[in-house]
Amino acid sequence: MKKLTHLDDSGKAHMVDVGEKADTERVAIARGEVKMQKVTFDLIAAGNMKKGDVLTVAQIAGINGAKRTSDLIPLCHPLALTHISVKLDLDESLPGVQITASARLRGKTGVEMEALTAVSVAALTIYDMAKAAEKTMIIQNIRLIEKRGGKSGDVVNQ
């Protein structure tokens, strides 16, 4: 059975010491979605929300979220990200917004939490900006799609 790395031998939480680990290229991709009623979808697509351009603000919020991950999640290391991208796509079949974030760096620890945080913060921003039109939106399916680099190897989820 694998050991949880954020627990010491007595079961207490601690930040993992990554000082001796080698720097490697790390990449993570995460996805999620915000499902909404068609009328809300149409307002966002037309750029007619009272708070402004939902997709642009959510994209910027997601980028900021990735950069602030270690402030939000106590045992995450502060990282010098070399790249973060947040892409938002209107999906009429949901209806809603598909969110994809990717994070990259060359370092001692992975960027999965940064990619997941970017998606989460972008989704929360969409909800915040559209809640005047609809309070029943659903934030769903936030998940890691891919991780590359590091000792634990590559992971691909679809």
Model pLDDT, residue 107: 84
Residue 16 above 70 pLDDT?
Answer: no
Which of these is catalytic: 8, 42, 71, 128?
128
pLDDT in tens, 56-72: 999 999 999 999 999 99
**pLDDT value for 13:** 66
Q: What is the pLDDT of residues 80-136, one digit of tens each?
A: 999 999 999 999 999 999 999 999 999 878 899 999 999 999 999 999 999 999 999
Mean pLDDT of the chain: 90
Q: Going from the N-terminus, what domains does the chain have, and what CATH number goes with each?
A: 24-148 (3.30.70.640)
In this predicted structure, the answer to whether residue 14 has a pLDDT above a threshold of 70 is no
Quick check: is 89 catalytic? no
CA dihedral 69, 70, 74, 76 (to 10 degrees): 100
- Write out the two tokens for 143: 């998940």
